[in-house]
Amino acid sequence: MPDKILLGHGSGGRMTRELVRDLFCRQLGDVAPDSMDDGAILSADGKIVFTTDSYVVSPLEFPGGDIGTLAVCGTVNDVAVMGARPLWLSLGVILEAGIELDLLERIVRSIATKAREAGVKIVCGDTKVVEKGKGDGIFINTSGIGVLEHPLVPETIEPGDKIIVTGTVGDHGMALLTMRKGFPLKSDLKSDCAPLNHMLAAAQEGADVKWMRDATRGGVATVLNELAENRPWGVLLQENDIPLSDAVAGVSELLGLDPLYSANEGKAVLVVSASAAAAVLDVLKQSPYGRDAAVVGSIVADYPGKTVLNTEMGTLRTLGILASDPLPRIC
């Protein structure tokens, strides 16, 4: 590990995992969690779910949302993909002196709008102000608490199970890319920020959903690598089946970027039994956030511990975990 923190340590990929594992977990020892998941199941009866996340996106407003939208949707989704119903959020805000009150009001309005849509209450919070030049506008931390209603059983994943993504991939990361300095691209890209809790709860009703993850930093490829790591089976994706918007496909081709590693803020990846895949897909497509959902691959006996892409050319390409972050400050 390098002797200084780099932007890549916030990528959600390999460098992030190494930092958490080799520094935080090592130093925290027996007071640290026994997994590197985004959330934890609390209480003796295993019914309470807790998660926390911080948001440092730049720019603060972008097509399809803003840092407030991100803060609510990201935390709600972290609770939802654990099979829980999110109920309560905390809201911690660090403001930089000099930020315009009109901008802050728009962001707080976004927080309220998405909280209402998700059906969660903001029950506590904190506000701090730092000197101009010390905070980059606004930083937000949100923690979420929910009730576990549909426990997931990743231990039962086996070859033949299907992998579903709930919509087009790469939208959030590519949308922010078009706003970066030095990337004068014009497109109709916008972030896919969305609270997925109602849609995912409906998809789990009576269905054999074994695992879920929101594909944020590191994208679909990275979360599937985390799924397959040290497993006796592998993941085989079909490139022709992966849903992409025309705008994401165009920008990706132009810049030579892989949308499978681009961030999403309104998409989840599910592993379901083969017999449940069609029913789950039907439910997802009934939601405006799932109308482009698709089965994109399978759990296979081949390639244990790996994620492999069957390309449009019919060749096989191993997808590794994201090593660094080509798009810092995406969430």
- Cα–Cα distance, 189 to 254 (Å, whole number): 14
Question: Options 3.40.50.300, 3.30.1330.10, 3.20.10.10, 3.60.15.10; which CATH number does 37-148 get?
Answer: 3.30.1330.10
Measured in whole angstroms, the distance separating CA 140 from the mean position of its chain's CA atoms is: 17
Instruction: Specify whether the CB–CB gap between 124 and 90 falls below 8 A.
Output: yes
Instruction: Specify whether the CB–CB gap between 268 and 152 falls below 8 A.
Output: no
Helix axis angle, 197-204 to 277-285, nearest 10°: 150
Instruction: Specify whether the CB–CB gap between 210 and 272 falls below 8 A.
Output: yes
How far lies 46's CA from each of 43, 147, 154, 280, in Å? 5, 9, 16, 25
Residue 144 tokens, joined: 């979420």
- What pTM was computed for the model? 0.90
82-136 pLDDT tens trace: 999 999 999 999 999 999 999 999 999 999 999 999 999 999 999 999 999 888 8
> Which residues are CB-neighbours of 294 under 8 A, at least 6 positions away?
164, 165, 241, 242, 243, 281
**Along the 331 residues of the chain, how does pLDDT read in single tens digits?**
678 877 666 666 667 777 777 778 778 877 666 666 677 888 767 799 999 999 999 899 999 999 999 999 999 999 999 999 999 999 999 999 999 999 999 999 999 999 999 999 999 999 999 999 888 899 999 999 999 999 999 999 999 999 999 999 999 999 988 776 556 666 678 999 999 999 999 999 989 999 999 999 889 999 999 999 999 999 999 999 999 999 999 988 888 889 999 999 999 999 999 999 999 999 999 999 999 999 999 999 999 999 999 999 999 999 988 766 656 667 7
Question: Options 3.10.20.740, 3.90.650.10, 1.10.730.10, 3.40.50.2300; which CATH number does 154-319 get?
Answer: 3.90.650.10
| Domain residue extents for the chain | 37-148, 154-319
